[in-house]
Structures are given as C-alpha cells and as structure tokens.
Structure 1
Amino acid sequence: MFKSSNNKYVKKKCCSPAHSKMTCCVSCNAKVIIPYLNNNQHADCPRCNHTLASSERWELHRCAMIAYSILILLPFALNYPLLSINLLGVEINASVWQGIWKMATQGYSYTAFLIFLCAVFMPIAFSILVILLHFSQILNIKPGNLLLSLSYIKPWVMFDVYLVALAVTMFKIREYASLQLDIYLIAFIFTALLTTLLFIKINVDALWEDFYPEHTSFFPISSKVQLQVCTACQYSFSEPIQDNKGYIYCPRCYSRVTSSKISLQRTWATLITAMFMLIPANILPMSIVYFNGVATADTLMSGVLAFIDAKSYAIAFIVFMASIFIPICKIAVLLYLLCCIHFKWTHSIKRQMKLLHFIHFVGRWSMLDLFVLALMMSLVTRGQLIDFSVGPAAFYFGAAVFLSMISTSLFDSRLLWKIYDKH
C-alpha cells in the first residue's frame, strides 16, 4: 500500500521484479515487496502501517544549509538574554546557558547535565552531523558511524520543548516582577523552528540507501527467503555477518543484531528503574522559593494547582500533561505492553500499536518542567528577599524521563506481533 503527497492511497498496477525489493518490517517483522517509488510517495507496511520507504525528503545540501543557519543562530539563542525582569530596581536577564550554569554551580550538577544534553549538546551535535554528512557526500566517504549517531541523537533534540517551557516561565515569573522580552528571543524562536524543520525533513533511512547503494540489491521475490532486519539502520538482509562467538552483525552498519530476549530484559531494567525514580519525583519538592526568608516548596502537583489558583488554566493543563500525566502514562502503557508479551494476552494489536506510537511521540515533552527550572534559576536567584532553588525531586524526575525514553526505544514491538501471529 502506498501513499502520495495528497494523503491518498495509490495501488501499483505493475510490480516489476527489476524495480521491486523485498524488505522486512522492523515493527512487525512482515516481509513486504516495495516497488520503485515516484516523487512524494511513501510505502507503508500493510500490516502495521509503519513507513518502510519514502521519497518525501529534502536533498542533503539543502538540509546542510539549514544546519549552518542553526549553528549561526545558536550562540545568540543560548548565551544571550531571552527574558528580563526588573527586581528591586535591578534588571535580571535569563538565558539558556546562564540557567544551566547557575544550576550546576549551586549543587545541582546532575540535573544541569540532563538539561545541558537536551538543550545545548544535542542540537549542536545534530547540526554538525548533518554538515559532516554533506561533506561525506561531496568527498564520497562512507559515513556509517555518522548515520548511526544521527538516528540516536534525533529523539533527544528538544528545542521545541524548550520554547514551550519559555512560555510557561513567562506566566510563572509574573508573580514576582514585571517581565520584558529581549530581542534575542527572535533568534531562539527561529532556531527552534529551523531545528524542528530539519528534524522533519531529513530522512536517515534514505541517506543509508544513498551512501550504501551496494546494500540495496533486490532479493528474489519469494516467500521462502529468510530475512532479518537491523533495528539500527533498518536494513533487511538474508546473509548476516557472524563472528567466532556466534554473534550476528548487520552487513551494512556492522551493528550487533540483538535477540528479542535481550531487548526485553533491557526494556524491563530501564522501566523498573524509571518507576522507582518517579516515586520521589512526585513526593519531594520540585522547586523552593524563598520570599522574605519564608520558604515555599512546590511539588509537581502543587505547581499545577498554583497555576489553577492564578486562573492560568491553559498553562496548568500544559504543565499537568507534561509533568504528571505523560510520565505516568508512559510507564503504565509500557508496563501493560510488557505484560501482554509475558502473559500472552491476545488484546487488539491495533490498539497496542497505537499506544506504543503515542508514548514514542509524547515522551520527550516531559522535560518541559526541568527547562522551566533552569530558566527560573537565572531569573529569581537574588539575595535574601527573593531566592529560588531547585528541589531534590528535579534529578529524580529527569532520570525518570530519560530512562522511560530509553525503555520505549528498546521495546521490540515484533514480540507483540508474534503473539498475534500465533492466534
């Protein structure tokens, strides 16, 4: 089944073997024949609707131009003030880097490191990798490690989440002082938009086929062909590379093909750790504000209630969804899917796949609360009258978000389809 740009299904009348190849779906392990795709078409798995191939993409040199623009704008977006308040006649500025630095120097280095990874390191690394891929294309170099790194880094680029955190901080800071927007906020907004655009338009799977055309040879159109698929580069192969210890490696990216049993164990390990981290994250204070020497501690839920008391219902809904509902929902859904595998529950496979796609999409937005804390650290840390401090729950919350995202990425949906096939 194939879709064109107007979102209509198109059926191929002729599937010539010379222009067709057999691939193995990385989501449900189904063998699917993919013909040559025209412009603005993509091939979906007829069983799980996973996108197997797509011709909807930008050329690499065009993506590299966007990456250059992001690197030019990043110093202004990260280091220069985005917001400013007038507190007791003193103008205080807030920037991304300043909030991370203050958090790190005041005893919250682990929490600051989590924010640094998602807000500073990953966007810079993402843009640099795209530029290096462009140079590799010009110099005719095989950039397997670059493509693997790009696929791993993409889910952790969270500039769009930081943009929403900036809006939440604006509403929160109005309780203490008047707020002004700085001109460098424009650079931050443009950087977030360009990063999101590059995230959408670059097609890593298509780049693999461009750089490694020798591994896009067509298999015989036969149901008896034994295919395996590499989850790292989504390459289907019939003859893997095997070492002396019996381990199987992908012939294209040379990544080790792990068994479903090992993936399941890793998913359980990261999920259980995330569940334990989420308990102190919801019980302990997330932030502490000192006003005239009086400390006010806010947990995740009390912060949401504070926005409701201030009649900022839209902000309260965003914070509740990102900080409470999504983390708990992710863990609950993953726990349900893992139980379906272990206890062989034959529930609706379509509903199970929709739940899995949902937690893949919303998981990164849980970092919003930590980004708000970083901005608040650079704005409301001044003397004895008003002081702001990160609570002990911040690190546990960040660790729970990271571990749940890793657990979701490790989950092998093919195990669900094995149960479905048996019934």
Structure 2
Amino acid sequence: MTTPKITNIRYKIARCGECDEVVSITYPLPKDEHAQCPRCHHILATTQRWSLHRCAMIALSLLILMPFALGFPLLSLDLLGVRVDASVWEGIWKMATAGYQYTAFLVFVCAILMPISFAILVLMLWFSKLLGIRPRNVLLFLGYIKPWVMFDVYLVALGVSMFKVREYAALEINTYLLAFVFTALLTTLLFIKINVNELWDEFYPEHKQPREIDDGIELCTACNYSFPHSEIKHSHGHSNCPRCDSRLDIPESIKLQRTWALLIAGIIMLFPANLLPISGVYLTGALSEDTLMSGVISFIAMKSYFVAFVVFFASIFVPISKIFIMLYLLASVHFKWQHSIKWQMRLLHIVHFVGRWSMLDLFVLALMMSLVTRGQIINFTVGPAAFYFGAAVFLTMMSTSQFDSRLIWKIYDRKTTK
C-alpha cells in the first residue's frame, strides 16, 4: 500500500507577533486546523471559525436581545413593601444623576457602549461584504474593542450584588435576567468563532498570497500582516503597513514610554482607590462606609466566603498583582534581565486575561445604586474611591496593551547567541 503524494503544497511566510520568529505556514491551511509558532506556541493562523454570515446572524440576535438585557429589570428588591428594580441602564443613570458622572461613564463604556459597538461592527462587516466595500477601519476597531466588552464580568457582578443586598430585603430574580445570560453567552460565542485575521485575508485577498521565505520580513501588529520589506508603504515621512495603513516605524523607546506613563498613572490612581471609601449605606440616617478591603471583610462576616474571595481577587489582588507584574516585565526590558522566558510570557498572558475582571466592583456599585435607591429607609451611595478605581483599571489595561512582548524575546535571543 503506497501513500499518495500530496501535491500543490505551498507555504507562506509569517512573522510571529509574540516572539518575532519567522516561520513558514502551509498554504492554504487545512480546515479546522491551526498553525502555531514553534518557539513560543502563539497561534499564527487558524481556520476554526464560522462564516461571516453566521457571525452576523449572532450579532443581529445580540442587538435584538440587548434592549431586554440592558434596559429591563434583572433583579427586584422588596423593601418594606416598596418594589425597587435593578437594570444595567438604570444603575448607570442613577449613578450619573447622583453626581458620579465620570464613574458612570466608565461603567457605560464597558457594559453598554462596547457590547453594542461590537455587534454593530460585525454587522457592518457583513454589509461591507455584500456591497463589495473594504472596511479597513471597521476591522481595526473590531480588534481593539474586544477586551472592553465585559458582559461576563457583569454577570458575576449580578451574583455578588444578590449576596450583598439579601441582608436588607427579599430579592426577586426577573425573567429578563435570562435575556442577559443569553446575551453574555452569545457574545462569548461570537468572540470565539469570529476570526479577525481571516477576515483581513477575506477582504484583502491580494495580501494573502504565499511567498518564499525572506530575511527582510516585516510585521504589522495592527492587522497581523507579514510582508516583505520592499512592500512597506511610505507616506508623509513614515513607514506604513501596505494593508491597513498603520504606522510601522514607532520606536521601541516610544512604546516603552507609553507603557510606563499609563502604568504610573494607574499606580497613582490606585492609592486613593484603596484608601478612600468606595461605597456607603445610609441605614436609618446613619452612614456606614466601606473601602475595598472592608467590603471584603463584611462578606466574611456574613459567612459568604466564596463571594468575599471573588471580590478580593477581582478588586484587590488582581489590580495590585497586575502592577507588580508589569513593573517586573518593564524592569526586565530596561535592565536586560535574562530570566526564564517561559515564565515571563506566562505572567504577561495572565495579566492580559485577568485585567478586565477588576471592573467587577464598579458593576456591583451600579447595580446597588439601582437597587437601593435614595429616598428609601436604606440609601446607597458611591464613594470617591470609585472613580479612582475605575481609572486605575482603565489605565493599567491600556498599559498592558501597549507592552510589546517581542522586547523580552530580544533579550532572550541575545542570551542564546552568546
């Protein structure tokens, strides 16, 4: 029995966006398979995605569900015979009208604006394909906003809020919560099944042809496009990507300065976020305020140990550990520390994954503002630490996104060539 010869096998060049290694990939890639970097195991290409038409149908379903998930009551509180409803929009609106506009805006961005924008952008891609339009800016923006869509974090915040208010009054779960759960699940499914890199190839087919391996290979990190140095587009004295027109000649020193600036600003914001009260409850006229840590202690006193762990992990452990990890990685680049590259990359991946969960506390505050309204016997108020905490989360997330992991691999390469 002879093995049939595989014909028409071609290869294309790709530069890994994580470790800067140049590798060759089978072209076209077999269905339901993926190619990964042999050095850092970063996924370079995959065909495990749904068609744009199917993704657009999910996005349309999301837009139909979102008015029910965001505008209608998810939880209800029976407070001495008075029914108080809690919805995503109601919590943000009450927070804004109570004088906490900036904090409400941070919650609005992650809980309403970005999820709606994500679904709209997918639909825009579908219409662009039908009309034969090349949606460069839509593809770029779609890749940028994915970390800021936080329906899954808000879902956990709902559970924390339920434990937090159960000591005050009877809590009722509304049927609209089902719409929110389905919206969160569909959003996660869309995240998994839509492949922005393949969509770039689909809309710009002239930029996906196989090439021979070339030492002068450039990489655009904005659209993940590998191309020969000779194809660089020069415009207004800058080097741009020939596919998405993003700048390629940003110096490494500028990238590090941006990372440092955002991280230092986040560190500064974290001090008042932990020292000042983040929430307060008026009970029969007496004000009881909580900081981040005292809120965790109150859950422990209620014997809600799992909720206390979730709040401590998301609100205290994650932001502080994220800052220490980023400081370590930046110091590794500046002082050229030759530590375990595997461990350093694992730390960076952890930071990227857990950073968004720090928004949990702000989502809980918005729900509490909606549930425990002013004018009742029990009044809930947001403390001054809320804005500083939200700003710290935003700044550290942006700092992480600015950090280029290839700077660590350059130190590793110098070590291995000695």
Structure 2 residue matching 1:20: 3-state secondary structure:
strand
For the residues of structure 1 that align with 2:46 and 2:10, how far apart are their CA atoms? 15
Partner of 1:82: 74
**Distance (Å, rounded) in 1 between the aligned partners of 2:53 and 2:279:** 45
Instruction: Give the TM-score normalised by structure 1.
Output: 0.94
State whether residues 11 and 212 of structure 2, in contact with CA within 8 Å, keep that contact through their aligned partners in structure 1: no
TM-score normalised to structure 2 length: 0.95
**2:275 corresponds to which residue?**
283
Which residue pairs with 1:248 in the alignment?
239
Q: Deviations over 1:340-369 (max 9, x none)?
A: 000010000000000000110111111000
Other-structure match for 1:136: 128
Are positions 1:31 and 2:22 aligned together?
yes
* Equivalent runs, 1:43-82 vs 2, <5 Å: 43-82=35-74
**Bigger Cα displacement from structure 2, 35-44 vs 112-121:** 35-44
Q: Where does 1:122-271 land on structure 2 (aligned, <5 Å)?
A: 122-222=114-214, 225-238=215-228, 239-245=231-237, 247-257=238-248, 258-271=250-263
Q: Deviations over 1:315-356 (max 9, x none)?
A: 111111100011111111010000000001000000000000
Query: Does the 8 A contact of 1:327 with 1:363 survive in 2?
Result: yes
Question: Cα 1:38–1:386, aligned 2, differ >3 Å: closer, same or farther?
Answer: same
Q: Do 1:293 and 1:384's aligned partners in 2 also have CA atoms closer than 8 Å? A: no
**SS in structure 2 at match of 1:253:** coil
What are the Cα deviations for residues 153-198 of structure 1, in whole angstroms up to 9, with x where unaligned?
Answer: 1110001110000000000010110000111111111111111111
The runs of 5 or more residues in structure 2 that have no matched partner are none
| Matched letter for residue 27 of structure 1 | E
Give the conservation status (yes or no) of the 8 Å contact 1:292–1:384.
no
Amino acid at match of 2:13: M
Deviations for 1:69-119, whole angstroms, at most 9, x for unmatched residues? 100000011111010011121100000000000000111000000000000
Shift of 1:244: 3.8
For residues 173 and 15 of structure 1, do their structure 2 counterparts lie closer, same or farther at Cα, with a shift above 3 Å needed?
farther
- What secondary structure, in the 3-state scheme, does the structure 2 residue paired with 1:35 have? strand
Q: What is the Cα-based RMSD across aligned positions, in Å?
A: 1.4
Equivalent residue number for residue 399 of structure 2: 407
1:219, distance to aligned residue in structure 2 (A): 2.3
Which deviates the most, 156-165 or 32-41?
32-41
For the structure 1 residues 227 and 14, does the alpha-carbon distance in structure 2 shift closer, same or farther, using more than 3 Å as the test?
farther
The aligned amino acid for 1:160 is D
User: Deviations along 1:357-402, whole A, 9 cap, x unmatched?
Assistant: 0110111111000000000001112326211100000000000000
| Contact persistence 1:16–1:35 (CA under 8 A) | no
- CA displacement at 1:242 relative to structure 2: 1.5
Q: Structure 1 residues 251 and 84 mapped into 2: Cα distance closer, same or farther (>3 Å)?
A: same
Asked whether the 8 Å contact 1:42–1:55 carries over to 2, the reply is: yes
Aligned-residue offset at 1:16 = 7.8
Classify the secondary structure of the residue corresponding to 2:143. helix
Contact 2:12 2:24 in 1 (8 A): yes
CA distance in 2, matches of 1:371, 1:249: 39
Query: What is the CA–CA distance in structure 2 between the aligned matches of 1:51 and 1:15, rounded to whole Å?
Result: 24
Aligned residue pair count: 408
Which residue identity does 1:347 align to in structure 2? H
| CA distance in 2 between partners of 1:15 and 1:331 (Å) | 51
1:25 shift after superposition: 0.7
Q: CA deviation at 1:248?
A: 1.0
| Percent pairwise identity | 64
| Letter of the 1:21 counterpart | K
Give the 3-state SS of the residue equivalent to 2:24 in structure 1.
Answer: strand
8 Å Cα contact 2:115-2:151 kept in structure 1:
yes
Partner Cα distance (2:220, 2:400) in 1: 17
2:291 is equivalent to residue 299 of structure 1: yes
Could you tell me which residue of structure 1 aligns to residue 348 of structure 2?
356
Q: Is the 8 A contact 1:126 1:153 kept in 2?
A: yes
SS in structure 1 opposite 2:374? coil
- Counterpart of 2:225 in structure 1: which amino acid? Y
Amino acid of the structure 2 residue aligned with 1:358:
I
The answer to whether the 8 A contact 2:84-2:373 is kept is no
